[in-house]
Amino acid sequence: MFSLLILTLSLFSLEEKVGQLLVVHFPGEVYNESAEKLIREVHVGGIIYYNWANGLHSPEQIRALSSSLQKQAKIPLFIAVDQEGGRIVRLKKGFTPFPSNAVFGEIDDSHLVEQCAYLSAQEASEVGFNLILAPVVDIVPKEGPSAIGDRSYGSSPDKVARLARSALSGYKRGGVISCLKHYPGIGSSHIDSHLDLPVTTTDDRMLYQLLLPHSQMVMTGHVLATSLDTTHCATLSKTILQNHLRPQFDGVIISDSLVMEGVLKQYNTVSDVAIAALDAGCDLLILGGRHLHGASKELSPDDVITIHKDIVDAVRTHRLDPSQIDRSFERILKLKQPGQTYLSLNTEGSDPE
């Protein structure tokens, strides 16, 4: 079977490499002009689905959409979804409703967590998803408010680690890539990073040390973890990503959505945030998402084209290190190997059905 890893970097343009570092959304329930712009002009690495953008009315509609998108991509796309269970689910009609992590934490049955993750992954895989942005592994306080709330398995690090490892196993068995989130931990804050920047005085690095060997992808949290960096939030912190996370993790580091207020406060544009996140050590950037209580903006395909151009310009002017872009690109290609994600390389593209 053809392996993407045997392709040399010289076969890809800088525009293609940068495009592969972006996960975006587009408005439409079928392949359309917006999707074509993002795939053909930006060469995006992935598409994230939302109910409000893509309908997600039935397994049949989703499967057709995923198939038509993949047929247009030179390099297979990540097709991603937030499908945590409980209140954070995008796939509803025609899919099994699973409870929140908090419920699994109360039951505390590792086998049940593994089996439910497997079933969720299997259902997602059958309609074209290869990336589920879960599980949440943030540790919440025993008492007091937490913005993460019932998305967490609980307040016991041992329990969270054990159940999260079972979830990782289930997702893998079900045929999808999963993603630990949100490094280095945002569970202790009552502030929602969609709305503002959370600040924590503790971090969950010890938990991640147990889970990183079993994971292919880690999502950064938009959090000011003062125990590690008093100036930059984790997504934008070289100290956190390059000094703490990268030495113990050779997989893909993905940002949380860059349209969230928690990460936008110190920058004038999303382009500036995207460049800073790549410079800090993120491999993959989520540019998808929309307003939450008016706090965040939604990016159009034309906005993404501008951001892509700005990143390319930053590499050409050495504001971003070209070798770092190459390393991120290689990690993404490695994760997209057919043997790991059940995808194949389409070098020409074709018209959608």
User: What angle separates helix 110-126 from helix 157-173, to the nearest 10 degrees?
Assistant: 40
- For residues 172-194, one letter each, b for 16 or more C-beta atoms within 10 angstroms of the residue's C-beta and e for the rest, the string is bebbbbbbbbbbbbbbbbebbbb
Q: Assign domain 21-340 to its CATH superfamily.
A: Glycoside hydrolase, family 3, N-terminal domain (3.20.20.300)
The residue among 138, 134, 277 whose CA lies nearest residue 203 is 138
Asked whether 68 and 31 are in contact (CB, 8 A), the reply is yes
- Is 150 marked active-site? no
Beta bridge partners of 253: 218
The token pair at 98 is 């699973």
- Alpha carbon distance 104, 18 (integer Å): 39
Asked whether 307 and 270 are in contact (CB, 8 A), the reply is yes
| Alpha-carbon distances of 242 from 219, 247, 248, 312, rounded to whole Å | 14, 7, 10, 22
- Is 196 marked active-site? no
Asked whether 69 and 31 are in contact (CB, 8 A), the reply is yes
DSSP reduced 3-state for 219: strand
The residue among 79, 86, 92 whose CA lies nearest residue 135 is 86
Catalytic site residue from 182, 194, 222, 244:
194
Q: What is the DSSP string of 58-111?
A: -HHHHHHHHHHHHHH-SSPPEEEE-EEETTEES--TTS-----HHHHHHHT-HH
CB neighbour class for 142 (10 Å; exposed up to 12, middle 13-18, buried from 19): exposed
Question: What sign does the CA torsion over 329, 313, 308, 353 have?
Answer: negative
Q: Taking the C-alpha atoms of 116, 117, 123 and 124 in order, what is their torsion angle to the nearest 10 degrees? A: 150
Q: Could you read off the pLDDT tens digit of each residue along the chain, which spans 353 residues?
A: 344 444 567 789 999 999 999 999 999 999 999 999 999 999 999 999 999 999 999 999 999 999 999 999 999 999 999 999 999 999 999 999 999 999 999 999 999 999 999 999 999 999 999 999 999 999 999 988 899 999 999 999 999 999 999 999 999 999 999 999 999 999 988 777 877 888 999 899 999 999 999 999 999 999 999 999 999 999 999 999 999 999 999 999 999 999 988 888 878 799 999 999 999 999 999 998 764 444 446 799 999 999 999 999 999 999 999 999 999 999 999 999 755 443 444 444 433 33
Catalytic site residue from 222, 256, 283, 308:
256
Q: What is the pLDDT of residue 289?
A: 79
The residue among 25, 121, 23, 119 whose CA lies nearest residue 65 is 25
Q: Measured between alpha carbons, how far apart are the two ends of the chain, in Å?
A: 25
Length of the chain equals 353
The token pair at 45 is 């690495």
The token pair at 307 is 């951001």
The token pair at 29 is 């329930």
- For residues 302-340, one letter each, b for 16 or more C-beta atoms within 10 angstroms of the residue's C-beta and e for the rest, the string is ebbeebbebbbebbeeeebeeeebeebbbbbbbbbbeee
Q: Which residues contact 31 (CB under 8 A, 6 or more apart)?
A: 65, 68, 69, 72, 352
**For residue 180, which amino acid is it?**
L
- Please report, for the chain, the start and end positions of each structural domain, with discontinuous segments joined by +: 21-340
The residue among 152, 197, 196, 198 whose CA lies nearest residue 292 is 196
